[in-house]
Amino acid sequence: MNSKKNVSVLVIDAQGGGLGRQLVLSIKEISGVRITAVGTNTVATSNMLKAGADEAATGENSVITACRKADFIIGPLGIVIADAMLGEITPKMANAVAQSAAKRIFIPFSNCDNYIAGVGAFSTGRLIDDAVSSLKKLLNDFQNP
């Protein structure tokens, strides 16, 4: 059985890191998780670190390395689409997320030439609330197999 203090949640974001910042703020309310934030650029990383991530790093190799260590990965759906987010997601990053043994929770956004049907009616806040709710359920299942 895993204990809460050993659960690693990886938040990945790009561009300005606004979504990642909101995710970190919401996830910090869950006791016993360690949040690693990885941005594709320093602005995204800085915003997630300021929001309270326990540790943070930037760039392609950081995404690849963190994906190997995470129990859960959460971020926009674009993190598994090569060249998404205005080209900030490299093929190696997308592959690392997709092949990780971690449970993945994706926030669906239609942008950067990727359109997700049915998403337009949901606010960012509602999507984040749903993602964090899903994380809580998965954490419970993870800790109580």
Q: Give the 3-state DSSP-derived string for 11-53, with helices as H, strands as E and coil as C.
A: EEECCCCHHHHHHHHHHCCCCCEEEEEEECCHHHHHHHHHCCC
List 37's β-bridge partners, or say none: 11, 56
Q: Where are the domains of the chain?
A: 4-140
The answer to whether 43 and 55 have CB atoms below 8 angstroms apart is: no
pLDDT score at 74: 97
pLDDT score at 122: 74
pTM of the model as a whole: 0.89
Class at the top of the CATH hierarchy for domain 4-140: alpha beta
| Rounded-to-integer distance, Cα 145 and Cα 142, Å | 6
pLDDT score at 100: 97
Q: Would you give per-residue pLDDT tens digits along the chain (145 residues)?
A: 344 457 999 999 998 889 999 999 999 999 889 999 999 999 999 999 999 999 999 999 999 999 999 999 999 999 999 988 888 999 999 999 999 999 999 988 756 666 677 766 677 788 888 898 889 998 888 888 7
| Rounded-to-integer distance, Cα 60 and Cα 33, Å | 24
Tokens of 98: 């997709």
